[in-house]
Amino acid sequence: MNSVLLATMQRDLLLARRRRVEALLPLGFFVVAAGLFPFGVGPEPQMLRQMAPGVVWVGALLAAMLSVTQMFASDHHDGSLEQMLLAPQPLTLLVVGKVVGHWLTTGLPLVIAAPLLGLLFDMSGPGIVALTTGLLIGTPVLSLLGAVGAALTLGLRSGGALVFLLVLPLTIPTLIFGAGAVGAVDSGLSAQAHFSLMGALLILTAIGAPLATAAALRISLD
């Protein structure tokens, strides 16, 4: 079973490497969208530090949703998704492999770019660490929830817009705890409670989202 997961993940990573411009589009959007805010609100350091966590998290969410609609779309167009459903291996494992591949090509670059944006917003060192740690825990949740939305809207003309409407309400707790962790550190408090809650959300999502995604794929292809 592990070989199925790894094979699916490696396949998606290989496809992403062949389509580098498309794969790097979410990262470019994230950096540009978040980087424009200091020019719009002015160079006041205190204001930038207060806005930074929310701006970075919203940028990460939008960047993740920008690419999540393509998680199953290409496989659906070329017919390989139907073969995955007919394969003897559990569809849930294939879904997990695709989610991990999406996070490695989208979520992980966002985590790596976060410290640079933290410096742009004049954040403190502990604040940057809290922001990066929160994204490391929270971006897999975005990929998992996005997979459910992508499966539910598979094949629809306005699927991209529907994914936003379906997934955005579910991501609000992750955004609140992620931004709250940075606020707690800046206030001299511990961010452990926020990280623990985000970890609980990740565990719950990791358990439920692949099952829901597999069921939604079967419904979409019936």
Helix, strand, coil in percent for the chain, rounding step 5: 85, 0, 15
> Considering just the CA atoms, what is the radius of gyration of the chain in Å?
18
What pLDDT shows up at residue 159?
62
- For residue 136, the model assigns a pLDDT of 95
Pick 215 or 72 by higher pLDDT. 215
Taking the CA atoms of residue 166, residue 16, residue 9 and residue 59 in that order, the dihedral angle to the nearest 10 degrees is: -40
Q: What is the percent of the chain where pLDDT is above 90?
A: 29
Q: Which helix (H) or strand (E) holds 36?
A: helix 20-41
**Looking at the whole model, is its pTM more than 0.85?**
yes
On the question of pLDDT at 205 being above 90, the answer is: yes
Q: What is the pLDDT of residue 130?
A: 94
pLDDT in tens, 3-56: 767 877 787 788 777 777 777 788 888 888 888 877 777 777 788 888 888 889
Average confidence (pLDDT) over 60-76: 81
Average pLDDT taken over every residue of the chain:
84
200 has pLDDT over 90? yes
Instruction: Give the pLDDT confidence of 126-155 residue by residue, as tens digits.
Output: 999 999 999 999 999 999 999 998 888 886
d(CA 31, CA 117): 7
Please report the pLDDT score of residue 177 as a whole number.
94
Q: Which of 175, 176, 153 is nearest to 164 (CA)?
A: 153
What are the residue boundaries of the structural domains of the chain, listed by start? 2-221
Mean pLDDT of 52-67: 87
pLDDT reported for residue 1? 54
Q: Which helix (H) or strand (E) holds 198?
A: helix 192-221
- What pLDDT does residue 138 have? 93
Integer Cα distance of 64 and 149 in angstroms: 12
